A and B are shown apart, each in its own frame.
Chain A
Amino acid sequence: MKHFLAKHATIKHRLYSLYYTLFSYGRGLIILTLCLWAGNIVSAILPIMIPGSIIGLLILFFLLAFQLIPTRWIKNSCNLFMRYMTVLFIPAAMGIMDNYSLLLANWLPIIFASVGGSIIVLFLTAYLTENLHRSTIKSSEDKEKQS
């Protein structure tokens, strides 16, 4: 009997933690949705073409930065999105199925401009960062290690 009770208690406990997890994901998702909607509205009003998702990101960032929303409300669902982000690019990447004729006709400028330009910018940015941050790198690396 005692054993049964203990087992029962763990089941109950697990169920509660499951509820809490689902609840925290739901809460995070609602906050993300609200931020995205607000971002879409602002982007429709603004004269410049900035996507609503970027403005939504800035809104959520400022909400977190000014501590209008506690981090724990959003943490779980944000980490979920971070972990499985790559799957969201599959539909766009599958677009290669339909566009290969356009790509074949102009492959030379497209490939070289994309790849060559990117390699130049990658090294330019990396070296620029290392040079600009050289003075502050040591102190911040220590901080990173501490945290």
Chain B
Amino acid sequence: MIWMLPLTVLVFLIIRKISFKIKNPLFNPLVISVIVLIPILLITQTSYIEYVKNVKIINDLLPYSVVALAYPLYELIPQIKARWKSIMIITFTASIASMVTGVCIAFWLGGSDEIAASVLPKSVTTAIAVTIAENQGGVPSIAALCVILVGTLGGIFAHQLLNWAKIKTASARGLSIGAVSHAVGTARCIEVDYNEGAYSSLSLVLCGIMTSLTAPFLFPIMVFIFDWF
């Protein structure tokens, strides 16, 4: 089934071209590609495991693209220098807040510890989220799914929500989208505005590091508090 790799790339490239013409945030290249590809796999009776085996090279390139984010970050150095303290405060608050809100809502709606641990790292890149979820006793595949869900919804709606709230500065838009919808949101930000994308990647990196540093302490405390009540 060698055709799957070229097919995936071809479908994506065509949809990307169309998305530049349509310019509607609802026409998200990632979502539309998945909607197009799933029926093709179902018709040809290809299982997901088989598909992933064939497009392994795409998965393997993901860490390279994370390393490549260093370049837009480098271009932001003058802006970071001017206000690194406030950026550290913002990303720290954002990563703590996203873990606390996610876990609280999950427990409140009757999720088990397992589900709460899977929802815990929803706002960081897939690579980090899966390791965090595993360490805290969550299900890695659900964690990955939450990450993709949050990222994709962020990529589709975050810009409209921020427009609606009249937030226009590149730093506020970039930092908040990067903190919430990580790399998928960052990819979208780069499509919209390069500066915004750089802020977004800054926040993606800092939130990723802070979340992986604080989660091992924060999650047991939250589980303890909810068990106590």
Contacts and interface: CB of A to CB of B under 8 A. Distances in A.
A51 B127 contact: yes
Contact of A113 (B122, B183, B197): B122
A88 B62 contact: yes
Contact of B184 (A58, A64, A89, A95): A89
B165 to A, nearest CB: 6
B111 A109 contact: yes
Interface residues of A, number: 78
Contacts of A98: 48-49, 141
Given A113-B111, A120-B101, A54 B66 contact: yes
B101 to A, nearest CB: 4
A49 B67 CA distance: 17
Interface string B102-133: 11111101110001101100110111100110
B74 A65 contact: yes
A50 B106 contact: no
Nearest to B61: A88
Nearest to B102: A117
Contact of B70 (A49, A60, A89, A94): A60
Contacts of A97: 38, 41, 48
B65 A81 contact: yes
A114 to B, nearest CB: 5
Chain B interface mostly = helix
Given A113-B102, A117-B105, A87 B8 contact: yes
B222 interface: no
Interface residues of B, number: 113
B151 A89 contact: yes
A54 B201 CA distance: 11
Interface string B90-102: 1001100110011
Given A109-B106, A125-B172, 4 more contacts: A92-B144, A95-B141, A109-B105, A136-B83
Interface of B: 8-9, 12, 16, 29-31, 33-34, 37-38, 41, 48-49, 51-52, 55, 58-59, 61-74, 77-79, 82-83, 86, 89-90, 93-94, 97-98, 101-107, 109-111, 115-116, 118-119, 122-123, 125-128, 131-132, 135, 139, 141-142, 144-154, 158, 161-162, 165, 167, 169-173, 175-177, 179-181, 183-184, 186-188, 190, 195, 197, 203, 205, 208-209, 212-213, 216
27 contacts: A32-B67, A36-B67, A51-B128, A53-B63, A57-B70, A61-B74, A75-B71, A81-B65, A82-B69, A89-B151, A90-B30, A91-B55, A91-B58, A92-B144, A92-B147, A94-B38, A94-B52, A95-B141, A95-B145, A109-B116, A114-B146, A120-B101, A121-B176, A124-B94, A125-B94, A126-B175, A133-B83
